[in-house]
Structure 1
Amino acid sequence: MSNDLFETDEGIERVWQEVLAEDALILRGYALAEQHVLLRAVDDVIREAPFRHLVTPGGFTMSVAMTNCGPLGWVSDRRGYRYDAIDPTTGKPWPAMPPVFLNLAKEAAALAGFDDFVPDACLINRYEVGTRLSLHQDRDEADTNQPIVSVSLGIPAIFQFGGNQRTDPKIRVPLTHGDVVVWGGRSRLAYHAVLPLKANSHPLTGSVRINLTFRKAR
C-alpha cells in the first residue's frame, strides 16, 4: 500500500493506493477533489436520461436504478445485455460524457498502469438502502484488454471482488465517498458484486450511493 499527495483547489488531498488483486487497485479518496463537479454533472445527465430500472433477460427488474452517458450506453431487456447508442427510454442518443468524467477515468486508469484508456460508456447507478448488485463479470465489451474504472459517491458500500471463476474466493472491501477502483489485465474478468446497502446518509447525496462505471465498449 502507498499514498500519494495531489494538490487541488481545496488544498492537498492524500490518496491511498491499495492493491485489491493482480492488476486491480483502489485509489482511496481519489475523486474527492472533483466531488461537487461530478455530482452536478450527474444531475445534468439525468435531466436528459432519467434513472430507470432495467429488466434482465430472465424477466427480473433490477433493484438498482441506472442510466448512461457517452457514445454508448449499457442496456438490458428480455432480448439480452448489450450496448446501444440510443437510449431506449427517450429514443435519443445518450447525453455526452462530461469532461470531468472522462478526465477522471483516464487519469485513474493511468495511475493503475493502464495508459491510453479512453472510455466510450459511463454507466451511472443509483443504489438505495437494501439494493445490491449480484455477482457478475463485465464481459459485454468488445475488447476486454481495456480496464474498468469505478467511482463511488455517497453512502458507503461493501464491494465483493473475486477471481475469474465464479467459485473463486472473494474478498469484501468497504468503499466510501470518493474511492475509485480500477481493474484490468489479469483481473479484467474478475467476478464482483455490491452487497445490500445498509442505512446511512451522506451530506451530498442523502441516503443513496451513486456509482460511475467507465468502460471501453467498442
Structure 2
Amino acid sequence: MEDELFPRERTSVAPGAVHVPDWLDPARQRALLAACRDWARPPAGLRTVRTPGGGTMTARQVCLGWHWYPYAYARTAVDGDGAPVKPFPDWLGELARRAVTDALGPDAVPAAPYDIALINFYDADARMGMHRDADERADAPVVSLSLGDTCVFRFGNTATRGKPYTDVELRGGDLFVFGGPSRLAHHGVPRVHPGTAPDWLGLSGRLNITLRVSGR
C-alpha cells in the first residue's frame, strides 16, 4: 500500500517462520504472473481439487514438477486430465533458494533441489482451511510467494488446527518461509480482500506460489 506512515518490516512469526514484505519487485511480479498464466493452460492446467470426502477446494490449483492430489504426489494430473505434470523450471528453484537464504540464512538452504510448485488461485470467495504440508519426504523449508490481492494468512502450531495461531497480512510481492520447528505447522487462508491488487499488475484475485522439496 502506497504512502504508509511506516514501512512494513520483516517479522519472525514463529521459530523458523519469517514474513518478508515486498520481497518481489514489480518486474519480478509481472514475470511470475505471466509464467503462472502459461502454466495454468491445459494440458495439466488449472483445476478444481476434490477431497476424498467429496468436497472441493475453493482455491483452484496447478502443479509443476510433481502433481499433488489429496494426499499424495504423482507424475501425471491423476485427478484432472491425466496429462503429464508440467516441468519445474530451474529458475524457480533458484528463486526458492534465494528466498530461504534471505529469510532464514544460508545454513537453512537444503542440499536437495526444489522440485515442486503448487500454484493456487484465489478469487474473492476462495479460502484455504488449516492444514499441514506433510506429503513430502523432505523437511526443507516451504517457500510461499504472493501475487495480487491481499489475504489473511493464518499461521498456527504443529499440534492442532486451532489456537494458538497468528494472522499475517500477505500482500502481492510478499515472501513467507517456514522451516525447522515450524515446517509442519498448520496454516490456512481464512480471507481474501478483493480489489486490493495493484492496478499495474493486471490481476483480479490472488495467486500463491508454494515451492517445496519432494525428497523423491
TM-score (norm 2): 0.85
Percent identity, aligned pairs only?
34
Residues 158, 36 of structure 1: CA spacing in aligned structure 2 closer, same or farther, 3 A cutoff? same
Aligned AA (1:115):
V
Q: Is the 8 A contact 1:66 1:124 kept in 2?
A: yes
2:74 to 68, 84, 98: 84
Q: Does 1:59 align with 2:50?
A: no
**Higher share of residues assigned strand:** 1
Shift of 1:168: 3.9
Query: In structure 1, how many angstroms separate the alpha carbons of the residues matched to 2:205 and 2:93?
Result: 23
Taking structure 1 as the reference length, what is the TM-score of the superposition? 0.85
- Counterpart-to-counterpart distance in 2, 1:42 and 1:216: 19
Shift of 1:39: 1.0
Q: Which residue of structure 2 lines up, in the alignment, with residue 175 of structure 1?
A: 170
Is contact 1:138–1:189 with CA below 8 Å preserved after alignment?
A: yes
Q: Which residue of 2 aligns with 1:151?
A: 145
Misfit runs of 4+, over 6 Å = none
Structure 1 residue 173: Cα displacement: 0.6
Task: Tell me the number of residue pairs that the alignment of Structure 1 and Structure 2 aligns.
Answer: 199
CA RMSD of aligned residues (A): 1.8
Distance change in 2, residues 1:168/1:201 (3 Å): closer
The answer to whether the 8 A contact 2:150-2:194 is kept is: no
Q: Which amino acid aligns with 1:207?
A: S
Q: Using the alignment, how far apart are the partners of 1:31 and 1:179 within structure 2?
A: 7
- Where 1:54 maps in the other structure, the secondary structure is coil
In structure 1, the gaps of 5 or more residues are 1-13
Q: Secondary structure at the match of 2:69?
A: strand
Name which of 11, 19, 22 aligns with 2:12: 19
In the alignment, which residue of structure 1 is the partner of 2:3?
none
SS at match of 2:192: coil
Separation in structure 1 between the aligned mates of residue 141 and residue 187 of structure 2, nearest angstrom: 14
1:186 to 2:181 alignment: yes
Residue matched to 1:30: 23
Name the SS for the 2:40 alignment partner.
Answer: helix
